[in-house]
Amino acid sequence: MGRGQISILIITGLVALIILSFIIFKMYYEKTEIITSSHEKDYSRQVKPVTDYANSCLDKVSMLAMSKLGEQGTIYPNVYLASNDRKISYFYFKKKGYFPQKITLENQFSEYVKENIKTCLNDFSDTKFVVEDVGEGILINSKIEDEKIVVEMTYPLNVYYESKIIPIEKFSAEINTGFSGMYDLSEMIFLETEKNPDWINLGSLQDTKYKVRLIKVDFNTLVYEISDDNGLEGKPFKYTFAVKYEL
Amino acid sequence: MKKCMIFVLAIMIIANVSAQTKIEDQVNYFFAQNKIDMVMKLNNVSYENFSRLQDNFLIIEKDRKVLSLDLNSFKENKEDIAEFSSIYRPNMIAIDLKNLPEISFSNQNEIIKIMQADDGATKVFFGKKADQNESFPSVFIVEHYIPDTIVSDNYRLNGTPRLTAIFRNSPKVEIINNGLYFNPNTFGISARSFFSSDLEKSQFDIMSEDNVKELVGFSDSILISTSFLSFDYFFDRGYKTESWDYSKEEIRGFDVFPEQCSKLGFVFLPGYGYDFIGTSTFTKNNGWILGIAYSEENKFETSLDDMKIFVQKSYENNLTPIVRVDSENLDAKRVADFINRLSNITEGKLEYVQLEDKPNLEGIAPEDYADFVIYIKERIRQDIKVISASLMPGREQIINGKILYDSEKYISSLAEITDFTGSIDYLGGYAYDLNISGLDCITGKDLYSGETICIDDITSYKAELELFKEKTGKSFEVIITEAGYPLTDANLRKTESLLQLFKEDKNVLAALVYSANSWEESPDSAWLKEDKSQSGFMKKIMQDICS
């Protein structure tokens, strides 16, 4: 056998080895994934009470966030009217606009949920499961859509079930609310105020389905209350904010 | 109450001079397309009047006599059409239906009737063109009516007058009712008129092409809702409406906005040390700090040393120091000497001095205090700002042979003395005054009588400023040298409100909280702790109004 033939044989062997390794790797990888997927499917039913519990907490805390948002205009007001039990956000104050962008409200919503979800979860002590916080923290993503607010929570947990550890991490809640329309109206009111800070523009209220209450607070401050009788899960909801007019 | 009382009316029209067909268009727009059959019962009238649009005239028939209203000129030819300029706007006229129990409009084979329940209760107002060269506004205002049907709306049950305004292509029309000023061109209400108007029990409808904006007034608010035009006999206004289940919620509060609390500061009592960092933290830099010095012989030097450090450290911590100099027996020479020496040893850093505290409580006559101030001002560095003593609010009394002067009379006397008002740069003031109403009361001890009184009325400094302006023609600023209440949760909101008010009041140059360190004298009023930590009360205040 000549040197050339040996070389070809070696190269062929190497190529075959690489191909074989690739096939084995691929087979192994796919098998593992299927197994993992299969396990998740099997055990997701078993740990469903935990998932349901977390989802219901997410729902409860999201409703609290909505309540806060409705009462205050923003969840964490920066410029506000400090009333007895709440801080009503100014959207226009001393010739400056403080109208919150939708993404700001979404971020505040997420922050509120993140701050309060653990209290509601109460270490899952209300469930019959042992649930371990993996320690990777909680990630909340909130999205204000036309007729609802979608809240997604990523919270890596290990659920102990029959000597096994079942990892779960995705939870979600949907709040049916017409908040988006009320927000749009508040933006219109804000823009009109910014344009003419000495006029209360009824034009911006002309084609809405909402009731709007204008409450005198002092000699130049109005609190707007936009109401929808079916605004939050079929129940009444108010979106409140304040405007200080330039007289 | 009689159920079937009556009712309403309404209308008005106006159109462009150049396009008289628009008059009909506007009537059509309001009535015809909605298939109205508003035949209303009449209370005590057995005849009808018919009206129609003919050319450019609104024809009203009564007892076979024809009244006509020229919509172009608005020249009425009958006394039934009266000027209401004295009551409403000069550019408005109205038809008073006192002699017209019913009018009807004929339009597209339909008869639209408008009737009144009580004589004089119903008026049809017409907007009048603002200028000869401008278009007629299409404004429709209907006032009054008593519902023909049973309604649950208390306002209408009680027959409260209601104003209906219909706007369309209406430039420069002012409609004033209950003090509200509408601009139909922009569909706006003047904010100024809104805040000053009497909204109680007022109701307005603003109609556009396909909906009605209802405005229902309460004592401090207006509720606006939309009804879509849907003429219906069973509703008292010809369109569907709602009754309001309105629960009153009063909103009161104070403004919080991102501004440093640089107007604020602390009063430190001598002998307990100063917390410059604590003060600086509270005011977010550039705040104020007040120290108290004594000029009498046995305390002079010690106090001078104390104040030297006080002034220097204040500057190092970005605080503006105020040195209050107390004297014994109004020894003006000693006080002037103290100030000059302090100014020298602090290398000109001394900028603000306050001369005495509560002289009216010390039995010092206002004339004597004025002389004291005038003397000192003439003998100190002229760029040192002099703050007059803050006065203790209270009525004149004689206790143990010492006169306690009425603070109002005292300040009034001082304001009369021209040399005095020319010698001070700022008025000193207190945040306290007697709360005679006793409502929402924070209590304190009356230094005159020793009785417990309400002290949270803060109008005294404002009254003093007004008085000084009136007497001198000059606007003074005030430095509040004692603000704050006992540090209890119940006082938190009130204190925040107070400090916020000072932050916003452009007449207040600075407001100093009493006190930072009264640990022995008044421990429940000490904002700083002896261990230099912040009280929870202070933290909350900082978070709420200094963030």
* Per-residue pLDDT at B369: 96
* Per-residue pLDDT at B543: 81
| CB-based burial, B502-513: b 16+ in 10 Å, e otherwise | bbebebbbbbbb
**Which residues of chain B lie closer than 8 angstroms to A90, CB-CB?**
255, 257
Q: Is pLDDT at A6 greater than 80 in this prediction?
A: no
When mean pLDDT is compared over A58-62, B182-186, B511-515, the highest value belongs to A58-62
3-state secondary structure of A55: helix
Half-sphere exposure of A67 (CA within 13 A, CB side): 10
Digit-coded pLDDT (tens) for B204-215: 666 555 566 677
Minimum mean pLDDT among B31-35, B152-156, B171-175: which range?
B31-35
Q: Is A196 on the interface with B (CB under 8 A)?
A: yes
Q: Is pLDDT at A205 greater than 80 in this prediction?
A: no
Greater confidence (B72 vs A233) lies with A233
pLDDT, mean over chain A:
84
Greater confidence (A219 vs B418) lies with B418
* Per-residue pLDDT at B440: 67
Counting residues of chain A whose pLDDT is more than 70, the rounded percentage is: 84
Half-sphere exposure of B33 (CA within 13 A, CB side): 10
A223/chain B closest Cα distance in angstroms: 8
* Per-residue pLDDT at B22: 35
Give the Cα separation of A174 and A152 in Å (integer). Answer: 9
Phi–psi pair at B17, nearest 5 degrees: -55, -40
Which of A81, A199, A211 minimises the CB distance to B190?
A199
Of A163, A165, A161, give the one whose Cα is nearest residue A134.
Answer: A165
* Per-residue pLDDT at B207: 55
pLDDT-derived band at B199, boundaries 50, 70, 90: confident
Counting residues of chain A whose pLDDT is more than 90, the rounded percentage is: 50
Q: Is pLDDT at A33 greater than 90 in this prediction?
A: no
Which residue in chain A is spatially nearest to B497 when comparing CA positions? A82
Please answer whether residues B346 and B311 qualify as being in contact, where contact means their C-beta atoms are separated by less than 8 angstroms. yes
Minimum mean pLDDT among B46-60, B141-155, B311-325: which range?
B46-60
Rounded average pLDDT over B127-151: 36
Digit-coded pLDDT (tens) for A182-196: 999 999 999 999 988
Give the Cα separation of B57 and B51 in Å (integer). Answer: 10
Please answer whether residues B242 and B223 qualify as being in contact, where contact means their C-beta atoms are separated by less than 8 angstroms. no
Q: Is pLDDT at A207 greater than 90 in this prediction?
A: no
Number of Cβ atoms within 10 Å of the Cβ of A157? 22
Of B499, B505, B491, give the one whose Cα is nearest residue B547.
Answer: B499
B229/chain A closest Cα distance in angstroms: 12
pLDDT, mean over chain B:
67
Query: Helix B276-283 to helix B300-316 angle, to the nearest 10 degrees?
Result: 40
> Are the beta carbons of A80 and B206 separated by less than 8 Å?
no
* Per-residue pLDDT at B148: 41
Greater confidence (B128 vs A207) lies with A207
pLDDT-derived band at B505, boundaries 50, 70, 90: confident
Greater confidence (A116 vs A85) lies with A116
Rounded average pLDDT over A50-64: 95
Q: Is A188 on the interface with B (CB under 8 A)?
A: no
> Are the beta carbons of A84 and B213 separated by less than 8 Å?
no
Q: Is pLDDT at B94 greater than 60 in this prediction?
A: no
A124/chain B closest Cα distance in angstroms: 33
* Per-residue pLDDT at B318: 77
Size of interface A-B (CB pairs under 8 A): 124
* Per-residue pLDDT at A243: 95
* Per-residue pLDDT at B73: 33
> Are the beta carbons of A223 and B251 separated by less than 8 Å?
yes
Q: Is pLDDT at B416 greater than 70 in this prediction?
A: yes
Q: Is A205 on the interface with B (CB under 8 A)?
A: yes
Rounded average pLDDT over B17-36: 29
Counting residues of chain B whose pLDDT is more than 90, the rounded percentage is: 22
Give the Cα separation of B403 and B409 in Å (integer). Answer: 13
pLDDT-derived band at A142, boundaries 50, 70, 90: very high
Rounded average pLDDT over B132-147: 35
Rounded average pLDDT over B338-362: 92
Minimum mean pLDDT among A133-137, A193-197, B345-349, B452-456: which range?
B452-456
Mutate to test the interface with A, among B228, B256, B542 (most CBs of A within 10 A): B256
Please answer whether residues B212 and B225 qualify as being in contact, where contact means their C-beta atoms are separated by less than 8 angstroms. no
Please, what is the Cα angle at B335 between B330 and B336, to 5 degrees? 125
CA A33, A34, A38, A41 torsion: positive or negative?
positive
Q: Is pLDDT at B124 greater than 70 in this prediction?
A: no
Give the Cα separation of A20 and A3 in Å (integer). Answer: 25
> Are the beta carbons of B251 and A81 separated by less than 8 Å?
yes
Q: Is pLDDT at A27 greater than 50 in this prediction?
A: no
* Per-residue pLDDT at B169: 36
DSSP H or E segment with residue B268:
none
Digit-coded pLDDT (tens) for B226-241: 765 544 333 344 334 4
* Per-residue pLDDT at B300: 93
